[in-house]
Amino acid sequence: MAADPAVASAVAAISAVMDWRSSPDARSAAFAYLESVKTGDVRALANTSFLLVRKDQSSEVRLHGFKMLQHLVRLRWEELSVAERNEFANLTVNLIPEVVGPHEEWALKSQTAALVAEVVRREGVALWNTLLPSIVSLSNNGPIEAELVAMILRWLPEDITVHNEDLEGDRRRALLRGLTESLPQILPLLYSLLEKHFVAALSAHTNQQMELAKQHVGTITAVLNAANAYAEWAPVTDLAKYGLIHGKRPLDVAIVEYDAAMSNIFQLLMNIAQDFLVRSKMQPNVIDVNEYEFAMCICETMVALGSSNMQCILADVARTLHFLQQMLEYYQHYKITLHFQSLLFWLVVLREPSKAKSVARVSSDTPAAGNSASTGGGSTEREKKGVSVLITDEMYSTILDVTFKRMLKKSTSASSGLLELWSEELEGKSDFCNYRAKLLDLIKVIASQRPGITATSIVQRINIVFGDANEATKSSQDLDAMEGAQLGLEAVVSAIFDGSSDYSKIDQDTKFQIHRIFEGLLQQLLSLKWSQPNLAVIHGHYLDSLGPFLRHYPDAVACIVNKLFEILTSLPITIQNIADTMAYLQGEGRLLRAEHNHLCEAFLVMASSAGIQQQQEVLAWLLEPINKMWTQVEWQNAYLSDPSGLTHMFADSQFMWSIYHNITLFEKALKRGGSKKSASAPQALATTVLLRCIHMLWAEPFSQSLAGEVKAAKSMTVAEQTSLLGETNKLTKGQVASADGLLDVQREGESKENTIRNWLRGIRDSGYNVIGLSASLGDPFFRCIEGSSITAALMENVQAMEFRHLRQLIHLVIIPLVKYCPPELWRMWISNLLQPLFVHCQQALDFSWSSLLREGRAKVPDNFGNLSGSDLKVEVMEEKLLRDLTREVCSVLWVLASPGLNSGLPSLEQLGPANRINSSLKDLELFVSSSITGFLMLNVSTAVPALRITVEVFSWTDSEAVTKIIPFCGALIHLAVATNRAELSQFVAKDLFSSILHGLSVELNSITSSELVGLCREIYIYLSDRDPAPRQVLLSLPHMKQEDLLAFDESLSKTASPKDQKLLMRSLLLLASGNKLRALVGQKATNLETGALLHAMDLVLRKMTTLD
C-alpha cells in the first residue's frame, strides 16, 4: 500500500506545497497535480485519500487527505454507487479509533469528526440511527473519545443551521426529523458529558494532573460548542428539560413553559449580580481584574436577556423591580464597561414602551384565568405599557444625572475621580462620537416620556457646570463640562419641542412647568456678560439650542436676537483689521505662506455664509495676486519652460514652498465652493504647465542629467511604502503627513533630498486636485481654456510615468475630465486624453501581468529607493501597484459606460426581439453625440487599446478589476446589438464572449459570476442569429455537444424571462465545461450565508401565509 505510486506522488505534491523553500514553479506544479487528483476518477480519489490519512503519514499529509475526502463527499458523492457509498461510510467510521490517541493533534480529530458528520448528512437518517449507539458507547471510554463524539454531534446539524443550496428540501427535512427524534438521546448525552468532565477536570486540577485536566477541558469545550449548535434550532422546552437552556423560543411552545425556563435564568443571573454589586459598593478596592471581567460577562448576559425577554418576569412585580434596580446600579457603576452595557439595555427598554410586543402575547397565548389570579388588576396596565410603568421618577432622574456626567471624554483637561470616563484604551467599544450619540439618544427617549423631569435635570446640570457665572475666565475642564451640558440641552429641547412626541398632547400642568423652567434658563443666559471668545462661542451655542423652544414661545425671540447682536458687536477685531494686519505682516516678511493660506481659508469660510456673490468677490480678491504672478510670461519662461527651471527653484527653498502654497490655496478655494471661470482657467493652466515640468523629470533626456539629490528625491517616500505594505508606521522626520504638514522652509536636520521629495509629492497631489476640481465646474472651465494645451501637457510624458503617479493622474484628473466634459467638446478633450493613456496602459499592464503570472513577480517602473529588508517587500509593493493601476484603468472604462454619458444608448428591452431584421440596425455615427462609448468606438486608435484591455482583464487574476469592467462590457454589447458596425459585432460575439468565459474559469470571479453569466446571455440571445461566433465559442467548450446546444436553444425559445434565461445559460456552462468554470462552482460556497438568509425569509413568508 505504501508503495502505491499515486499515493507517493500525492505525498510529494503535498510536501512541495507546504514547504516554504519550494520554488514558485514547483509549488504551482504540485498544486495543479493535487487539483487533478480531486477532479479525476472519483474511485482513485477515494482510494488515494484513505491511504493519505493513515497513521504512518505525516500530520500535514493526513490533514490534506481529510480535506480531499470531505471534497469527495461534498461535491462528488453522487458519482459513487450505493454499494460504494456504504463501503465508504464504513471506512469513514473505522477512522474514528485511529484519531483518539492522547497525542493526536486536535486538527486531525476535528477533520475526522467533520468527515463523519458529512457522510451522515449525505447518507441520511438510516446511517445515523445505526451509528448513534456506538457513538454513545464510545463517549464513555475517556475524555479524548468524548471530545471526538462531541465534535461529531456539533457538525451534524450544520445543514440545518446554515443553508446549503446543494441540499434538497426533502433531504434537509429528513435530516431535521432524524435529529429531532434523536434529541432525547443527544441532549442528555451532552448534559452528562458536560457534568461528568467538568467534575473530572476540577478533580484532576486539584490532584495536579494537568495533562488529564487539559483533556477534560478540551471535552468540555467541544460539548459546549455542540450544545450551541443544537440551541440554534432545537425546541427550548427540550433544552430546558435536559438542562441545556438557551433563550430562543419557537412558535409552537407553550408560553408558561418558556417563561418558566427564562425566569429561572433571570433569577440565577440576578443572584450572581447582587453579590458583585454589594461588594463593589462596600469594598471596591478588593475586587480584582478577573472579577470585573466576570461581572462584565454577567452584565452583558443580563442586557441581552432583559432586552428581549422582560415579559417572562413582568408578572412578578418584585422581581422586575429588583432587576431594573440592578441594571440601574450597573448604569451608575464607576467602571465604564459595565455602564456601557447597561446603556444598551436602557435604550432598548425605554425606546418603545408602548409597543410591548413581547408582553402583548401573554393575553393571547395564555389562559386568562391562569394569570388574573397571580398578577392582579395591575397586570393589564403592564401588558399595555410594558416595563415603563414600573420605572419611577427617581430612576429617570438617576439615569439622567449619570448620563449628563458621562458626556465628557477622558483627557488631561477633563477627568473625574468618581467616574471612569470614556477613553481610547477601551477595546471593543465604539468611538466616543458613537458612544455620546447613544447617551443623547437616551436623553431624547426620556425627554419624550418625562419632559418635566428631563427639563428639571438638565437645568440643574447647567447650573452646576456654570458655577459662578460672573467669572471672566473658565478652566479648560469647566469648558468641557459646559460643552457637554450644552449637547444635553440641545437633545432635551429638540425631543420635547421638535421631536417625535406630540407637544400638543402634553397636559397643561406639565407644559406650564416646562415653560417656567426654560424661561428661567433663558433669562439666566440673557444676563450673562461673557467677553472671552471661547465663552462667547459656548454662549451662542446655548442660545441656539433653545431654537425649538422659541417656536412655541415666540415672545422671547426678540430678546435672543438683541443678545446675539450684543455678542457680535462686542467682538474687538473686524475682518478688515485682519486683512490689513495680514498685508502688513506679509510685507514685512513675518507671515509664512502656510499661515497666510490658513487665514485665507478662514475668509472663505466666513464668506460662504454671506451668499454666492460675496463668496466670489472674496475669492477673486484672494486669488488676484497669485494670478498676476502666475500669468506673467517672464515668470513662466524662467521656471515653467522646462525642468531646468525647477532646478533653479529648488535652490530657493522659501520660494519653492510659496509656489506649493499658492496651489494649495487655489485647491482649498475650489473645495470651498468653486471658482469663477476667470479665476479657475489661468490657475489651472499654469498648474498644468508646472505638472508638465515635473513629469519631464522622469523622462529622457532630463532624467539622466539631473543632480544626484533630485534623482534620489524621485524615489518613493517611506509613507508610500508602508501604505503599499499595509503597515502602520509613525511619521519620521522628512516624511509628509498631509498638505498642511508641509513647511515653507527646509526643516532643521532634514536633507535637501527629502525636502524636494516632499515638495514634488505635494505639488502632484494638489496640482492634480486643482485640475480635477476645475473640471467639476463643467462648461465654465472647458469653454474658457484651450483643451489641446491641457491634454498635451498632461499626456506628453505618460510613457515615462511610474505606476503610482499614473494611477493618481487617472483618479484625480482623467476621470473628472471625462465625467464632466460637454459632449460637443469630446473630440478635443477625450480623444487626446484617452488615446495615449490607453495605448500606454495596455502595453504596460500586459507586460507586468505577464511577468506576474509567469514569473511570480510584477515588474513595474516605480523607484523604491534604497529599501531596507528582503526582496519580498518589493514584490508585495510591485503587485499592489500593478493591481491599483489595473483597477484605476478599469474605473475609466466604468465611467465611460455610465448612464449619464450614454443617454442615447437604448436598453436591450427598447431594441426589441433578438431576431429583428438587419434593416432596423442603426449606424454607429448616430450615437456619437449621445453615447461616449459610441464616440470611443468611432476613434479606432483609441478604441483598439481599450478593447484589448477589456478582453485581457479577464485573464488577470483581479476580481475587483473585473467588477469595474463589467458595465463597459455591457455598453459594448448594447452598441453591437443596436448598430450595424460589423467589426464591433464580431469583437463582441467572439473575442469578448471568449474572454468572459475565460474570466469564469478564475475562481476569484465567483462574486461577479452572476453578472458575467448575464453578459453571456445577452451576447448569445441577441447576436447568435447575426453571427455564428457565439455558437462556435460554446461548441469549443470541452464537454459541449451539438445536441446540448440544440436543447438549450429549444429551452430558450420557451421563456422570455431574463432571469430564467440566465439560469439556463449558467446550467449550460456548468455542463459544457465539466466544472472547469471555477467561478460558477465557487459561487455555491460564496453564497452560503446569503442563501441562508433567503431561506429564512422564505420560511417566515410561508408561516405568515399559513397564519393568514
* pLDDT tens-digit map of 763-775: 899 999 989 988 8
CB 996 within 8 A of CB 958: no
Report the share of the chain in percent with pLDDT over 90: 21
Cα 218 to Cα 150: distance, rounded to the nearest angstrom: 10
Specify whether 597 is located in the same domain as 611. yes
Tell whether 655 is covered by a domain.
yes
Contact at 8 Å (CB) between 605 and 673? no
The pLDDT, as a whole number, for residue 611 is 58
- Tell whether the model's pLDDT for residue 415 goes beyond 80: no
- Domain end call among 46, 79, 112: 79
- Residue labelled with grid coordinates 459656548: 538
The count of structural domains within the chain is 5
Tell which of 252, 269, 289 closes a domain. 252
1050-1068: average pLDDT: 91
Do 832 and 715 lie in one domain? The reply is: yes
User: Which amino acid, 319?
Assistant: R
In 300-457, DSSP assigns E strands to: none
Residue 288 lies in a domain: yes
- In this prediction, residue 914 carries a pLDDT of 57
Any idea which of 453-467, 1019-1033, 1090-1104 has the lowest mean pLDDT? 1090-1104
Structure confidence at residue 191 (pLDDT)? 85
pLDDT band at 895 (very low <50, low <70, confident <90, very high): very high
In a domain, 523, yes or no: no
Q: Does the pLDDT at position 1103 exceed 70?
A: no
Decide if 992 contacts 969 (C-beta within 8 A): yes
How far, in Å, CA of 775 to CA of 785, rounded? 11
Cα(420)–Cα(242) distance, rounded to whole angstroms? Answer: 42
DSSP letter at 979 equals B
Looking at the structure, tell me whether residues 616 and 496 fall in a common domain. no
Highest mean pLDDT among 170-184, 774-788, 1044-1058: 1044-1058
Task: Say if residue 230 is in the same domain as residue 274.
Answer: no
Helix or strand or coil: residue 471?
coil
pLDDT at 102 over 80: no
The answer to whether position 827 is within a domain reads: yes
CA dist., res. 726 & res. 715, Å (int): 19
- Considering the domain architecture, whether residues 347 and 437 belong to the same structural domain is answered as yes
- 318, with CB counted inside 10 A (0-12, 13-18, 19+), is exposed
pLDDT, averaged across the chain: 80
CB 311 within 8 A of CB 358: yes
828-875 pLDDT, tens digit per residue, is 999 999 999 999 999 999 999 999 999 888 889 888 877 654 578 888
User: Are 636 and 677 members of one domain?
Assistant: yes
Residue-by-residue DSSP string for 1049-1083:
HHHHHT---HHHHHHHHHHHHHHHHTS--HHHHHH
The contacts of residue 274 (CB under 8 Å, 6+ apart) are 326
- How confident is residue 1035, by pLDDT bands cut at 50, 70 and 90? very high
**Do residues 818 and 830 lie in contact, with contact meaning Cβ atoms separated by under 8 Å?**
yes
Q: Give the sign of the dihedral formed by CA 185, CA 186, CA 188, CA 194.
A: positive
User: Which of 840, 858, 889 delimits the end of a domain?
Assistant: 840
The string of DSSP codes covering 419-473 is S--B-TT-TTS--HHHHHHHHHHHHHHHHHH-HHHHHHHHHHHHHHHH-STT-S-
736-749 pLDDT, tens digit each? 444 444 444 444 44
Unique residue bearing C-alpha cell 450505493: 82
275 and 141 in a single domain? The answer is no
Q: Are 1061 and 1017 in contact (CB under 8 A)?
A: yes
Mean pLDDT of 791-802: 90
Instruction: Choose among 720, 893, 707: nearest CA to 802.
Output: 720
Residue 536 has pLDDT above 60, yes or no: yes
Q: Select the more confidently predicted residue: 654 or 999.
A: 999
Model confidence over 381-406: pLDDT tens digits? 554 456 778 888 899 999 999 998 88
Cell numbers linked to 1025: 442569429
Q: Contact 230/157 with Cβ under 8 angstroms? A: yes
pLDDT band at 526 (very low <50, low <70, confident <90, very high): confident
- Host domain of residue 68: 1-79
pTM (two decimals): 0.50
Distance of CA 100 to the CA centre of its chain: 42
Q: What percent of the chain is helix, strand and coil (3-state, nearest 5)? A: 75, 0, 25
Same domain for 57 and 109 = no
pLDDT in tens, 578-589: 666 777 777 777
Cβ neighbourhood burial of 272 (10 Å; 0-12, 13-18, 19+): middle
- Dist. CA 1059–CA 616, nearest whole Å: 53
Give the pLDDT confidence score for residue 924 in this predicted structure. Answer: 84
Query: Reduced to 3 states, what is the DSSP secondary structure of residue 155?
Result: helix
CB 1024 within 8 A of CB 1031: yes
Burial grade of 908 (CB within 10 A; 0-12, 13-18, 19 or more): middle
Residues 6, 111 within the same domain:
no
Q: Which of 20-29, 564-573, 856-865, 906-915 has the lowest mean pLDDT?
A: 564-573
CB atoms within 10 A of CB 430: 13
Identify the DSSP state of 954: T
Spatial distance between the Cα atoms of 91 and 97, rounded to a whole number of angstroms: 11
The radius of gyration of the chain's CA atoms, rounded to the nearest angstrom, is 37
Range in 7-16, 268-277, 576-585 the model is least confident about: 576-585
Residue 963 lies in a domain: yes
Q: Are residues 598 and 449 in the same domain?
A: no
The DSSP call for residue 810 is I
Ranked by mean pLDDT, the top range of 437-451, 585-599, 639-653, 1009-1023 is 1009-1023
Are the C-beta atoms of residues 989 and 1032 closer than 8 Å to each other?
no
- Three cell numbers written together for 875: 514584490
Same domain, 438 and 289: yes
CA–CA dist 394, 385 (Å, integer): 19
For the segment 612-629, the average pLDDT, to the nearest whole number, is 69
The span from the CA of 886 to the CA of 858, in Å, is: 12
Residue 517 lies in a domain: no
61 in any annotated domain: yes
Backbone angles phi, psi at 900, to 5 degrees: -65, -30
| Judgement on whether residues 1025 and 1035 belong to the same structural domain of the protein | yes
User: Per-residue pLDDT for 355 more than 50?
Assistant: no
Distance CA 469, CA 530 (A): 8
pLDDT at 1000: 93
Q: Which of 1059, 842, 856 is nearest to 952 (CA)?
A: 842
Q: For residues 253 and 415, what is the distance between their CA atoms, to the nearest angstrom?
A: 51
In terms of C-beta distances under 8 Å and separation of at least 24 residues, what long-range contacts does 14-23 make, across chains too?
14/52, 14/60, 14/61, 14/64, 15/60, 15/61, 18/60
Say yes or no to pLDDT of 574 above 60: no
Is cis: bond before 780, omega within 30 of 0?
no
d(CA 348, CA 442): 9
pLDDT recorded at residue 39 = 87
User: Of 369, 332, 349, which Cα lies nearest the Cα of 446?
Assistant: 349
- Taking the C-alpha atoms of residue 11 and residue 1107, their distance in angstroms, rounded to an integer, is 58
Is 845 a domain residue? Answer: no
